[in-house]
Amino acid sequence: MNVLTIEEIKKLNYTDFLSLVDQWNVPPGSISTINEWAVFGHVNKESRVLEIACSTGFSGRELSKFTGCSVYGIDICESSIQKARAAAQHYAPECDLHYEQIDLYEFVTDRKFTHIIIGAAIQFFKDKERLVDILSTLLEDGGIILASPYYLKGKTLPNDLIQEAEKVIEITPTNFGYNVAMDYYKNFEIIYQSRKDIIIETKCQMEKYTYDTIRRSCELSNISYNQEIFSYLYQRLYEIKNVCNKIHSYHSYSVLVLRFTQQIYPNRFVEMF
């Protein structure tokens, strides 16, 4: 096995670093959100689910474990896909899970899916309107989008926090309100919605999560990193957790179940409230 040096690890971008440590990239609300999607999205063993920007495959894997659905996950990052496949074999060998390294904008298929998981990943796509158009072509009539977008609950993020986030997690965090977040999905019918507040994690909670994740990564990869490398992995993942925790103090999120109906799309005939 090719073990990276600390110099090589330090050069990894955010996505490749998360793949290296096998972070389970959960949606806002974690497993609770996935449970709501399963129930209110009527996901079952006959469901054919596409997971967009699946990262290491957590959301689809857990949804399949709950419901028996089949999942096809795609992500642009090859190392993330490799970890998604390994996690599927290790944690859910009984599930029908498949993962491919694909750029969504170049994704071509004749398949139609009953459900698409996007979570909060819409923020990673530059051309969001094109993304939404693509989703409509991948769903069967009556198909469901499972989303969980962040939005500001009040004041905007300070510039120093935005700059810190862009440095640490290499994206500009959500800095707009509920109505803007929902506008991305304006062409779909809202079947279910639940707005959520975020409880900020404590230092002890973040430390335990970070330590356990790094330790598991080394154990599963059969890697005996020296203390210098282990400390760097821990410190960098903790830094990521900490900046996300700061951002969450400004955010709420919404668990969404949205429907695509060919006779209606892209119109809205039902009032939101």
pLDDT per residue as tens digits for the range 107-149: 999 999 999 999 999 988 989 989 999 999 999 999 999 999 9
Q: Give the strand pairing for 48-52 and 113-119.
A: parallel
Interval 228-254 mean pLDDT: 96
Measured between alpha carbons, how far is 59 from 76 in angstroms, rounded to an integer? Answer: 17
pLDDT for 223 equals: 60
Amino acid at 176: F
pLDDT for 4 equals: 81
Listed in sequence order, the DSSP H helices in the chain are 6-10, 14-20, 30-40, 58-67, 78-91, 128-138, 159-168, 178-183, 203-220, 227-248
Taken in order 45, 105, 36, 267, the sign of the CA dihedral is: negative
Helix (H, G, I), strand (E, B) or coil at 220: helix
Tally: H helices and E strands in the chain: 10, 8
Question: Which of the four pLDDT bands, split at 50, 70 and 90, describes residue 174?
Answer: very high
Percent of the chain with pLDDT strictly greater than 70: 97
